[in-house]
Structure 1
Amino acid sequence: MTYSLRIADLPFSERPRERLLEQGAKNLSTAELIAILLGTGQGPGKLSAVGLGQFILQELGQHQRDPLEVLREVSPQELITIHGVGPAKATTILAAIELGKRVFQVRPTERTLIDSPGAAAAALSHELMWQVQERFAVVLLDVKNRLLGTKVITIGTATETLAHPRDIFREVIRQGATRAIIAHNHPSGNVEPSSEDISLTQQLLCGAQILSIPLLDHLILGNGDYRSLRQTTQLWEEYPQGD
């Protein structure tokens, strides 16, 4: 007789999907990762999905073989011969293995180095420079100041926009950036900072210190020109960023 036990029937602490969401995939065992692919258990002794994952690894590890090495090159026929693994489960496992291989075969593209205010302004030119509404954006960088991406946080009216430090840092953290440059445009073309621009920069520099996410600059763009507040104010001396 064939038995099955759903992952949902297990105690919460034994549910690999929930553990992955809470603790991350790196903290799951190989058997738990296989269990997520299988979804339900099946086989001898009324195995749970995790139990079936462990059973598969044991079968692959016969004759003192490393089960992961075998799994890397396993064939559909080899998987299907394992009790409890049918064609559907075998193809799911094989598809996951192939996807993992392809991910690691891709060479990461060379990221743009943002090593000056001009480079940051160029990265934002399309999104900010000639817009008729004021926009507030962030340049997301890795620890080596390489560009991870840009993100427009808010879009305002023709004369003003609002950007809250909470929204800005939420995006920086969500994107996994370790440092950032903020920027907004002045549709008038006048890149002189307003008192509100200075005040917001002070708030963001304080927040960056607390979060240990260096804020490298605040740029104002408009009509082909830009202004770096780091280069033209004393704010970074008042609020050192440790960069």
Structure 2
Amino acid sequence: MEISNYHLTMKKLPLDIRPRERLFRYGASGLSDSELLAILLGTGTKRETALQLGQRILSKFKNLRNLVSTSPEELAEINGIGKAKSSQIVAAVELGRRMNTISNEKGNFITNPKDVVDLFMAEMRYLDRECFKAALLNTKNKVLKIVEVSTGNLNSSIVHPREVYKFAIKCSAASVIVVHNHPSGDSSPSKEDVVTTQRLSEAGKLLGIELLDHVIIGDGEYTSLKEKNLV
């Protein structure tokens, strides 16, 4: 038998390295990114198992951040993916984001910037465009609601105080924390970020709705403008 005609399938792999079997034995958290991706893909190609295909995809995008922010059209162009597998990957990513939003939206108390990061990091660290959100709080710093204020282009988002505080007034919020991401992964504040923060803080004082903090989300890192005494 010629090696070139040999089609290795997942069923021909030893049990202890098959992703599905490993998931049942060790749990999802015990699997690598490529193993989880292989389970999503289900099947590979004529020359690759699903695991090998998953490894090739991750190698192409260098890291998980680049993969999850890729469009379904770009994924579908990869040899061995197509529209069906591309849809499965994108749907899984979106479900993860929505689950995070559902679990974090209400019933949380904000006591420090780390609490803010816990609410928003998983959802916002991989976004390829700046997204500006606001957490609306009551007098006890409990989250009443999280709202999306604006979504910008690759480098900036346009935020006006009225867009933030109209939501706060509608919810009878006592205070506000605003959050936005930097698609570059670097959470260092820009001059525009500082100016926006100062404008929001001044508007909040006039309305009697305090701006508690402005947190910038990067890739696994964050910057609190409150901690930098810029709020």
Which TM class, normalised by the smaller chain length?
Answer: 0.5 to 0.7
Per-residue deviation, 1:224: 1.5
- The yes-or-no answer on 1:136 pairing with 2:125 is no
Please list every run of at least 4 consecutive aligned residues from structure 1 whose deviation after the TM superposition is greater than 6 angstroms.
Answer: none
Asked if 2 retains the 8 angstrom alpha-carbon contact of 1:184 and 1:220, the reply is yes
Higher radius of gyration, 1 or 2: 1
Q: Distance in 2 between matches of 1:182 and 1:139?
A: 6
Per-residue deviation, 1:172: 1.1
Q: Partner of 2:146 in structure 1? A: 150
Q: Distance in 2 between matches of 1:150 and 1:125?
A: 14
Letter in 2 for 1:149: K
- The yes-or-no answer on 1:229 pairing with 2:230 is no
Q: Distance in 1 between matches of 2:141 and 2:131?
A: 23
Q: Partner of 1:199 in structure 2? A: 195
Of 177, 182, 185, which residue of structure 2 is paired with 1:189?
185
Letter in 2 for 1:184: H
Between the aligned residues of both structures, percent identity stands at 34
Q: Partner of 1:4 in structure 2? A: none
| Structure 1 unaligned regions, length at least 5 | 1-109, 237-243
Per-residue deviation, 1:122: 1.5
**Where in structure 2 are the equivalents of 1:85-234 lying within 5 Å?**
111-232=107-228, 234=229
Per-residue deviation, 1:159: 1.3
Per-residue deviation, 1:190: 0.9
- Residues 172-229 of structure 1, C-alpha deviations (whole Å, 9 max, x = no match): 1112211110111000011111110011111111111111111100000011111100
Q: Distance in 2 between matches of 1:118 and 1:164?
A: 26
Q: Distance in 1 between matches of 2:189 and 2:149?
A: 19
Asked if 2 retains the 8 angstrom alpha-carbon contact of 1:124 and 1:150, the reply is no
Q: Distance in 2 between matches of 1:163 and 1:197?
A: 10
Q: Distance in 2 between matches of 1:112 and 1:160?
A: 28
Partner-residue secondary structure (3-state), 1:160: coil
So what's the TM-score if we normalise by structure 2? 0.52
- Residues 150-187 of structure 1, C-alpha deviations (whole Å, 9 max, x = no match): 11110111111111111011111112211110111000
Letter in 2 for 1:195: K
| Structure 2 unaligned regions, length at least 5 | 1-105
So what's the TM-score if we normalise by structure 1? 0.50
Per-residue deviation, 1:126: 4.0
**Where in structure 2 are the equivalents of 1:79-90 lying within 5 Å?**
none
Q: Partner of 1:94 in structure 2? A: none
Letter in 1 for 2:186: N
